[in-house]
Amino acid sequence: DKGGWSSFMAKEISEEPEAVANTIRGRVKDGQVVIPELDGLDELFSGITRVIIIACGTAAYAGQVGKYAIEQWARVPVDVELAHEFRYRDPVIGDDTLIVSISQSGETMDTLMAVKYARERGAKTLSICNTQGATIPRESDAIVYTHAGPEVAVASTKAFVAQITALYLLGLHVGRVRGSLGATEAAQHVLELESIPDKIRQILEDEQGHIEQLAHWMADTRSVLFLGRHVGYPIAMEGALKLKELAYIHAEGFAAGELKHGPIALIEPGQPVFVIVPSPRGSAVLHPKVVSTIEEIRARGARVIAIAEAGDAAVLPYADEVLRIPLAGPLFEPLLAVVPLHIYAMGLSTAKGLDVDQPRNLAKSVTVE
């Protein structure tokens, strides 16, 4: 039941605040992360020498965001691998490897096969999943459910923010267990995470109309590029994937620093480019670098749509449009910056008269290899 919304996707984007809040609920005690499902695993978390996150599509982009946080907090190397690539080479894994799978449906065949493969080779497996009792969690040693609620639209939206939330809870927990993260710092990050649902609500209230209007103006666009750095990089790729699958246009996400190594050749007058701008306070080193990237592409005629923190005036001289997100710590910005991109992809698909919930050639859960 769409509950009065024009599509399931519109409803599910509106539920992104609750998806984050419900995934946190019951997992914070006295300001610290407590995950009852992971009781008894302290020895495992202390002993691992690496983490490999395995997923496909949007879930893999959530994993790439999670990598930055888990490495920073838990001081353990994290690789993110597409399940179908991992499974068909000869990966170096053993009992000191923790495999973290991420899947909304819990039924994605590629991810399931990769988890089974890793388990047979002695790795411990932890599943982040949105569907109670699905096959992948049943095949895993430990489960952390995301509580985004059922997701009906084929394109994943609220599950994505819930996956990042679960990875952050995991990173904070493992960081505390390994002793790499102090209680005070962990408590600050928990507070920050708990403030995210209201900040997403604010984006929906302040920017949704503006973004849908922008998408409407851009209904004839043939190609859109997305740039980001650090945790903004996987968000750029998520923005591009959503546009491909929903609006059927060419879209690509790049690491902003990679631009001068090739992709800048694509910039011609009128090319729309979304740029995810890191916070000027939180990312004092990267912020000016991204602003100078914007300056460079603007000089070559790009039409720049900046996603920037409220109050960041440095982008104003170069951006054609600015979509504002509330202030958040650097690692937490992806949970905000992705919201305008989800709205934009839905808006462009709607402006083209397409079915946002059922894009062509796609299924909600991919149960074949």
Mark the segment that binds ligand F6R (CB under 6 A) among 22-30, 46-54, 56-64, 298-306: 56-64
Nearest distance, CB of residue 166 and ligand F6R, angstroms: 12
- Given candidates 33, 128, 155, 286, which one binds ligand F6R under the rule CB under 6 A? 155
Nearest distance, CB of residue 62 and ligand F6R, angstroms: 8
- Given candidates 56, 70, 126, 148, which one binds ligand F6R under the rule CB under 6 A? 56
Contacts with ligand F6R in 84-123 (CB under 6 A)? 103-105, 108, 111
Q: Which is nearer to ligand F6R, 76 or 155 (CB)?
A: 155
Q: Which is nearer to ligand F6R, 180 or 365 (CB)?
A: 365
Nearest distance, CB of residue 51 and ligand F6R, angstroms: 18
Q: Which is nearer to ligand F6R, 143 or 291 (CB)?
A: 143
- Given candidates 219, 255, 266, 366, which one binds ligand F6R under the rule CB under 6 A? 366
The 3 state secondary structure assigned to the chain is CCCCCCCHHHHHHHCHHHHHHHHHCCCEECCEECCHHHCCCHHHHHHCCEEEEEECHHHHHHHHHHHHHHHHHHCCCEEEEEHHHHCCCCCCCCCCEEEEEEECCCCCHHHHHHHHHHHHCCCEEEEEECCCCCHHHHCCCEEEECCCCCCCCCCCCHHHHHHHHHHHHHHHHHHHHHCCCCHHHHHHHHHHHHHHHHHHHHHHHHHHHHHHHHHHHCCCCCEEEEEECCCHHHHHHHHHHHHHHHHCCEEEEEEHHHHHHCHHHHCCCCCEEEEECCCCCCCCCHHHHHHHHHHHHHHCCCEEEEEEECCCCCCCCCCCEEEEECCCCHHHHHHHHHHHHHHHHHHHHHHCCCCCCCCCCCCCCCCCC
Q: Which is nearer to ligand F6R, 88 or 217 (CB)?
A: 88
- Given candidates 59, 240, 273, 306, which one binds ligand F6R under the rule CB under 6 A? 59
Nearest distance, CB of residue 46 and ligand F6R, angstroms: 29
Q: Which is nearer to ligand F6R, 56 or 169 (CB)?
A: 56
Task: Rule CB under 6 A: say whether 165 interacts with ligand F6R.
Answer: no
The residue at minimum Cβ distance from ligand F6R is 57
Query: Interface residues with ligand F6R (CB under 6 A)?
Result: 56-59, 103-105, 108, 111, 155-156, 241, 245, 365-366
